[in-house]
Structure 1
Amino acid sequence: MTAPTGPLVLFDDDYYMYVLQDRAFAEAWWEMPDEYACGFDALARPLRMTGEPHRVTLELSGDEPAEADLRRLVADHYRRFLKGQTPPQGSALAEFIAGLPVEGS
């Protein structure tokens, strides 16, 4: 299986969204694996997180994209946490992902 393609879109246990530039940045940035709910790479492939506090690893959990799930979770994040803001509207996945706010940029 190939490595995740950045940016990575991760959701914590409250389903708050974090968009992190790549796998190395995400693994260094994310502290507690038990606070991870789900995530996707830039191709909408689902990710799993393993490891221990301050030493997490992200890997693909499958090769099949889950674009509908990703878009739904992003829309839910905007509705819950970014009231008044509109999620990216790109019809193409790459355009949609490019419209997300990347942490640290």
Structure 2
Amino acid sequence: MTAPTAPLILFDDDHYMYVLKDRAFAEAWWEAPDEFAVGFDALARPLSMTGEPLDVRLALAGEESDEAELRRLVAEHYRDHLRGQVPPRATALADFVAALPREGC
């Protein structure tokens, strides 16, 4: 299986979204795998997280894109956590992902 394509879009157990610049940054940023709910790479492929607290690892969980689910979760994040703001409206996936707010950049 190939490596995830950056950036990585991760959702915690409260479905708060984090857009992290690459896999190394994401693995250093994230503290514990039990706080991870779901994640995607820039191609909307699902991610899995394993490891121990302060030592997590991310990998692709599959090669098939789930763009609809990524867009749904992003919309949910904006509705629940960024009230008054609207999610990106780009139709192309690459443009949509590029317009997401990033952490640590």
Q: TM-score range by the shorter chain?
A: over 0.9
Give the match for residue 17 of structure 2: 17
Give the count of matched residue pairs. 105
**Stretches of structure 2 lacking an aligned partner (at least 5 in a row):** none
Distance 2:104 2:63 in 1: 28
TM (normalized to structure 2)?
A: 0.99
**Stretches of structure 1 lacking an aligned partner (at least 5 in a row):** none
- Report deviation, 1:86: 0.5
Give the match for residue 47 of structure 2: 47
Give the match for residue 8 of structure 1: 8
Distance 1:67 1:30 in 2: 23
For 1:58, give the aligned amino acid: L
Distance 2:76 2:32 in 1: 23
Give the match for residue 66 of structure 2: 66
- Report deviation, 1:4: 0.3
Distance 2:59 2:90 in 1: 26
RMSD of the alignment, in Å? 0.3
Provide the secondary structure at the position in 1 that maps to 2:56: strand
- Report deviation, 1:9: 0.3
Give the match for residue 94 of structure 1: 94
Percent of pairs with identical residues: 71
Task: List, as ranges, runs of 4+ consecutive aligned residues in structure 1 with deviation greater than 6 Å.
Answer: none
Give the match for residue 35 of structure 2: 35
TM (normalized to structure 1)?
A: 0.99
